[in-house]
Structure 1
C-alpha cells in the first residue's frame, strides 16, 4: 500500500467522522426544537410555574438557542393566526439536510475508504 493511498483513507475517515458529528448535532438540535415547542405550550397554558428560577432558566436557554434559527423562518411564513409552524418547517429542513449529507456524500466517502 502506498503512502498516498493511506493518506486518502485517513482523510476520508476523518471527513466521515466529521459528517457523523454533524449528523449527531443536527439530531440534537431537533430534540431541542421539540423541547422548546413543548415548553412554550406548557408556559402558555400555565402548566409550569413561570416564577420558578430553574424553569425560567430552562425557558431562556431554549429560547436563546432556537430563536435565532426560527426568526428568519417566521419572517417568511404567512400569518396563520396563533399557530406557529416554524419549528415544523425547520425540522423538515434539518431532515432534508441530513438526507443530503447521508445519501450522496457518505457513500462516496465509504467507497474511498474501501
Structure 2
C-alpha cells in the first residue's frame, strides 16, 4: 500500500510541475519573450493547455470574472497542495 501512496504523491508532483510551467510560460508569452508563431513553442503551449484545461475549466466556472486575471491556476495549486497534506497526514492508512 505504500506504493499507492508514492504513486499518488508522484502524480500530484507532476501536476504541480505542469501548472508551474504553464504559469511561467504564459508570463513569457504575454511579455513577448516567447512567440507562439514558433512551432515548438506553440506545440508545447497547446499541449500543456490541453492537459490542464480539465482542471481549470470547472474552477473558472465557479470563480467570478476578474477582467483578464486568471486565478484558476492558483486555485488548482492550492487544491493540489491540500491533497498532498491530506495524503501525508493519513499515511498510516496506507500501511
Per the normalisation by structure 2, the TM-score is 0.91
Q: Do the aligned partners of 2:4 and 2:94 also contact (CA within 8 Å) in 1?
A: no
Deviations 1:90-113 (A, max 9, x none): 011111111111112x12334xxx
Q: Do the aligned partners of 2:9 and 2:84 also contact (CA within 8 Å) in 1?
A: yes
Alignment partner of 1:75 is 2:79: no
Match of 1:90 in 2: 76
Match of 2:29 in 1: 43
Q: Do the aligned partners of 2:56 and 2:76 also contact (CA within 8 Å) in 1?
A: yes
Match of 1:107 in 2: 92
Deviant stretches of 4+, over 6 Å? none
Match of 1:57 in 2: 43
Per the normalisation by structure 1, the TM-score is 0.77
How far the C-alpha of 1:60 sits from its partner, in A, is 0.9
> Using the alignment, how far apart are the partners of 2:5 and 2:65 within structure 1?
36
After superposition, the CA RMSD in angstroms is 1.2
